[in-house]
A and B are shown apart, each in its own frame.
Chain A
Amino acid sequence: MDYIINGIIEALKLLVSFNRELYEIIFLSVFVSSTATLISSIIFIPLGLYLGIKNFKGKKLFSRLLYTLMSIPSVVVGLLVAILLSRRGPLGFLELLYTPTAMIIAQSLLVTPLSLGLSYNLSKNRGKKIERVGITLGARGVKIIFLLIRELKIDLFINLVTVFSRAISEVGAVMIVGGNIKNRTRVITTSIAMFNSMGNYSTAIALGLVLLAISFIINSLIYSYHQEDY
């Protein structure tokens, strides 16, 4: 039992002493996951909104496929990206495997279905009405999408945060394509797995606390926006 309590005390010490390695890990985590979130959102939120209000053949099948992909396991994405980027793979000449760039690519791919799916679902349910108002007021094409973004911005923001938390909490993809290399590709989740396997519980606990804190902040943000909304 001692080592659990000791671990927590040591963890707090590490956090308040601004241990450099620890904060580098936290920074890289936030950087990789937010970049991935931004990349996938910029392209796929407008696309999702557009597809949501558009009627096309096979929309039902499309929805089902999209919802399936939303829960794609992160290790599968990691495996796919690793195979593509490996020196023997088709994109091996880029020499990207085991770099932060590879991690961003993998996480972007991982959260893209989520980004697309959430905004698609949102505009499918609420977009038609806004579209009709927009058309009445004379808006066309891209302007409709901008109108949708403006009208649904709070819900979209919540989606964005959901996407980010999916990215920052996954371990499978970043472990496979990042390789958990010290000072280079080590993020919170991969470090926790590694420090545990080394029996170094205090650093693992410290990072676990940070991850929890990030989730807490994110959830508080969502909650406060919800309050404004209703």
Chain B
Amino acid sequence: MKRILSILLVSLLIIGGLVGCSNNKAQSDTGKRIILATTTSTRDSGLLDYILPNFEEETGIKVDVIAVGTGKALEMGRKGEADALLVHAKPSEEEFVKEGHGLYRKDVMYNDFVLVGPKEDKGNLKEKSPRDIVKGLRLIAEGNYKFVSRGDDSGTHKKEKALWEEAKVKPEGEWYLSSGSGMAQTLKIASEKQAYTITDRATYLNLKDKLDLEIIIEKDDRLFNQYGVIPVNPDKNENINNKGAEKFIEWLLSEETQKQIGEYGKDKFGMPLFVPNAK
């Protein structure tokens, strides 16, 4: 009995060793997987689930998606914990590349933000300011209507803060709720509290059926949301899979994938959730 056991153990070790070696070999090429740090909106909108299987099939590289706020995604890049970033806060992204954390930054696609709120629209914003987000925010603050903020340093939160600044309002007080959560959770809180919030259109449309919220303000130029992709600087540590990341970016910006991005959501919502604009 003992002998059989020891033979089994030895053979397990040998097999394990062989598998380990072959894995190493593959990794030295383009690697078997890359880590993509991205925003919750690309995941919550369902876009990545829609396009990524193609990439994995074409190249055999698995993409591990870590969906966090843009702030955390950039932080992960800075520490070399991710291979590529897909985020939406252009000024922060450019700074990230300038500081040498990323190799370059390229436009991928855009979508837009909308202000959503309760159907009864307590502040009557829909009539007073259907196309002017800054005026809308000012009305919310003046009327002390409840507003839920992401409050998590994400791209959406950064956008919201910039808009409050433009409205010259310091969002503080009983009416201003900071959720510190992702977009889906924040929308849920807004729906429960019958409050206003700023969301990307994609996530809102995807969750619309489960929410008691509707679009109040949209199509303001200031609500434009550009996504960029960045390969993390491979000098950070030797675990960074730069080849895989480059391959991913090349695929993401390719004509075929861009076309696919432009089609996502059309059948369900009657309009694309993201507009591709890679150059």
Contact = CB atoms under 8 A, between A and B. Distances in A.
Contacts of B123: none
A87 B191 contact: yes
Contacts of B68: 197
Contact of A199 (B72, B180, B188, B193): B72
Chain B interface secondary structure, helix, strand, loop or mixed? mixed
B178 A197 contact: no
Residue among A3, A182, A183, A199 with the most chain B CB within 10 A? Answer: A199
Contacts of A86: 192
Interface in A104-144: none
Contact of B178 (A87, A98, A181, A200): A181
B247 interface: no
Contacts of B177: 181-182, 184
B194 to A, nearest CB: 8
Contacts of B69: 197-198
B212 interface: yes
B266 to A, nearest CB: 29
B40 to A, nearest CB: 9
Contact of A186 (B74, B180, B193): B180
A97 B192 contact: yes
A29 interface: no
A138 B246 CA distance: 85
Nearest to B178: A182
Given A97-B192, A98-B193, A197-B152, A180 B71 contact: no
A222 interface: no
Contact of A179 (B75, B79, B153, B185): B185
Contact of A180 (B75, B153, B179): B179
Interface in B47-90: 68-69, 71-72, 74-76, 79
B151 interface: yes
A186 B191 CA distance: 19
A180 B192 contact: no
Nearest to B157: A198
A45 B69 CA distance: 44
> Which bucket holds chain B's interface residue count?
20 to 34
B144 interface: no
Given A87-B192, A97-B192, A199 B179 contact: no
A197 B192 contact: no
B181 A179 contact: yes
A179 B189 CA distance: 7
A54 to B, nearest CB: 43
Residue among B188, B189, B192 with the most chain A CB within 10 A? Answer: B192
B80 to A, nearest CB: 12
A222 B180 CA distance: 36
Interface in A48-95: 86-88
Nearest to B191: A87
A98 B189 contact: yes
Given A3-B79, A180-B179, A198-B69, A87 B152 contact: no
A146 B103 CA distance: 73
Contacts of B71: 198-199
B153 A198 contact: yes
Given A181-B177, A186-B180, A194-B152, A199 B76 contact: yes
Contact of A197 (B72, B79, B179, B191): B72
Interface string B168-199: 00000000011111000100110111100000
18 contacts: A87-B191, A87-B192, A87-B194, A179-B179, A179-B185, A180-B179, A180-B180, A180-B181, A181-B178, A182-B151, A182-B178, A191-B180, A197-B68, A198-B72, A199-B72, A199-B74, A199-B75, A199-B153
Interface of B: 68-69, 71-72, 74-76, 79, 151-153, 177-181, 185, 188-189, 191-194, 212
